[in-house]
Structure 1
């Protein structure tokens, strides 16, 4: 299980050097159209980490998953995550959604 241990700005510089920049640009674009996205992404990070550690389980689709529970289904930001993931997969095929979620707090501080 991934718990986000050891992640930091620059963590993906060897595996996908553009990842953090893509995430930053994607969040900035979503923030421009809806500033509340920042609050939503921070809440999403909290909800993911609170249950069983920071494992990105909040993004698993299905009928009985963390994503579909009432508090989590109302979170703002899933579209920004999906957008960033899609853009990163174009540049770095095989990219894990668990990996994309971990650097969001430092990215949020770049605003």
Structure 2
């Protein structure tokens, strides 16, 4: 009986370890410094300059941008928190947990400035990530 219990225990531990090891896989995709060096060389500089201006006007915006990025990435980092609702249905922006989010205007300013330099190249999700990164870096 003791041997059988031990075998079951070892099997269970191996099963748990196998399951946990599967959770440890991380995708290699992600925003990296210099990612847009060839397709939009000024993107990071434009984002940093725009964020610096926004923070100089309102220092709280740095925390707001970080929080905005967190709320977007809590679901997935796909900038859905920036979308306005269609005629029917609600957007993620309208969820009760997102009512107090701020910084949308700053992200829009960054997006507009980058779009002037290289239209259609930098995604909204990357702009949100750049904004949060630069906000944290500047405070």
Same fold (TM over 0.5): yes
In the TM superposition, residue 15 of structure 1 has moved relative to its aligned partner by 1.4
Separation (CA, whole Å) in 1 of partners of 2:28 and 2:77: 6
Relative contact order, CA 8 A, sep 6+: which one is greater? Answer: 1
Separation (CA, whole Å) in 2 of partners of 1:110 and 1:8: 15
Correspondence for 1:56 among 63, 79, 84:
79
Correspondence for 1:15 among 24, 36, 39:
39
State yes or no: 1:102 paired with 2:129. yes
TM-score, normalised with respect to structure 1: 0.86
In the alignment, is the contact (CA less than 8 A) between 2:66 and 2:136 conserved in 1? no
In the alignment, is the contact (CA less than 8 A) between 2:55 and 2:135 conserved in 1? no
Question: Which residue matches 1:93?
Answer: 119
TM-score, normalised with respect to structure 2: 0.70
Which structure is larger by alpha-carbon Rg, 1 or 2?
Answer: 2
Unaligned runs of 5+ in 2: 1-26
Separation (CA, whole Å) in 1 of partners of 2:82 and 2:114: 16
Q: How many corresponding residue pairs?
A: 108
In the alignment, is the contact (CA less than 8 A) between 1:4 and 1:102 conserved in 2? no
Unaligned runs of 5+ in 1: none
RMSD across aligned C-alpha pairs, in angstroms?
1.9
Correspondence for 1:31 among 34, 49, 55:
55
